[in-house]
Chain A
Amino acid sequence: MTGTIGQSSTPDNMSGAATSSTAKPFRNAPRQRFFEFKKDIPASWSIILGISVWVLFFGVWEFAVWQQWANEILLPGPTKVLSALYTMFADNGFLNDVLISVGRVMLSFALACAVAIPLGILMGTFRTVDAFFSPFVSAWRYLPAPSFIPLLLMWFGAGDMQKLSLLFIGVIWFLITLIVDHVKSVPADLICTSVTLGGNRWQVLRTVVVPASMPNITVAMRQMLAVSWTYLVIAEITAADAGIGAVMMRAKRFLHVDEIMAGILVIGVLGLLFDFLLRQVHRFAFPYLEGRH
């Protein structure tokens, strides 16, 4: 009996709720608030907000120059920096310096990866290899790479070798450490599966450990490539006759702040570009990760 009462009263309530909501159709539409905890926002919002921050930045900059808050030599406006950038590329052969810098980063980073990836995989897989190398790697990790600059200058002079070795030292220890961690986190069950399917040591390494850790290794490479750019600038600023950092130091001597800023801009754009490229590599090399969050 109570069941029937309950049933008869429920539709009443439901229809009551339905009529009230049809009467005021827009009252219940969720209103998007500007500050909402951890909620996704519409794509248009993120584009507009993302652009606004740059508009604001350049606006404040231009305003500061216009108001002459600082000496114009020390603080040229954004347009002046852009025109300096144009002149550098068009008349001063800046492209050549950019290519030299990019080449240094690429070559040293490729060398670092060529050592760090195989070594990191072996250290992450075999405890014996780890026990042998890890005290060595950890010790080097705590030595700041720039402290080697005087030594490298004495050994190799101010040439390419000095830059390449600084970038190599600056990146490799952290790269190894990151890769070792990623390889160690390959699930043991995957390895056991391969082994009980008849996989020998080399097969397990090649068909399980490497493919399982490759996506994260690519992420580690992306992170360390950014660090590599940092050391490039340090290397080129201390002693170099070509490259982006060298051009910036020369500009400093002639008080060309616009050129220094143009150099910073180029380094920033290059960093973004390389990050984007490695992100694309990640997407295309590991299609099976798509759609997983």
Chain B
Amino acid sequence: MPLDDTILTANNVSKVFGSKAKAVEALREVSFSVARNELCILLGPSGCGKSTLLNIVAGLENPTSGSVSLDGALIHGPSRQRGMVFQGYTSFPWLTVFENVEYGMKLNGVAKPERTERAERFIDLVHLTRFRDAYPNTLSGGMKQRVAIARTLANEPEILLMDEPFGALDAETRWHMQEMLLEIVETTHTTILLVTHDIQEAIFLADKIVFLSANPGRLKTVLDLEFKKGADLKNKEDLIALPGYLECEREITALMRAEAGKSDGDD
């Protein structure tokens, strides 16, 4: 991968929670990078520190040692360059869908005409046009997550961070959301770093999977998903029918099981 193509780099990131006596090592010297326009998945068993790693990338937590840089510049604290979508619903209940999507741009002083144009464009993109003026508590869980995605994208981050964004949704809604996310990537070419523990979701979405092992979280392997290259995946069925898919799922499941066995009794 050419150097100028890399947008995000994590360098030997370690994280220890608590003080000496009760210190818990969450991450040990994790390094990986994300290329521009890439959809990179952080995958691993529970307790591998993948959410912690994402929080460090977002700037919500500081690494104990190591560093993260975006476009070559070291990151310090959160910024709109690294917008985040959380697992829980984070739509502001007192704002309508439109106002929610507009919110980030308002914080950053985007002028009103541009704000309106961008908000409407991204509301269309996540298929919420009809619900433009609805309050979030009248929406379903999947729709709330779409608001969150539109809100973050409308703010034009360099990279979109997603922490198990579909984890709280039922299976069917989850497929729709995954398919929609691929649609969005196709039109916006956003760079995405997404955390999940769902193997199928990871294979379906990923250009690249960064697999972490547990206790402490370390980089186990990076999977490039060669079998997917060039395939045009519109939905889950396409993926399952793809030669090499089962191989890949089996390989990752085995990795996951090996790690989960190791961390028995923890978490």
Contact = CB atoms under 8 A, between A and B. Distances in A.
Interface of A: 187, 189-190, 192-200, 203, 207-208, 211-212, 286-289, 291-292
B26 to A, nearest CB: 18
B217 interface: no
A183 to B, nearest CB: 15
Interface string B64-106: 0000000000000011101110101010111000000001100
B107 A207 contact: yes
Contacts of A288: 93-94, 135-137
Given A193-B84, A197-B103, A208-B92, 6 more contacts: A190-B92, A197-B152, A198-B107, A207-B103, A291-B138, A292-B137
Secondary structure dominating the interface of A: helix
Residue from B59, B78, B88, B108 having most chain A Cβ neighbours under 10 A: B78
A197 B94 contact: no
Contacts, number: 70
Interface residues of B, number: 28
B106 to A, nearest CB: 8
A215 to B, nearest CB: 8
B219 interface: no
A289 B136 CA distance: 10
B206 interface: no
A192 B88 contact: no
Interface in B137-159: 137-138, 148, 151-152, 155
A198 B135 CA distance: 23
A21 to B, nearest CB: 35
Contact of A197 (B80, B88, B93, B138): B80
B107 A197 contact: yes
Contacts of B209: none
B79 A198 contact: yes
B82 A196 contact: yes
Nearest to B58: A196
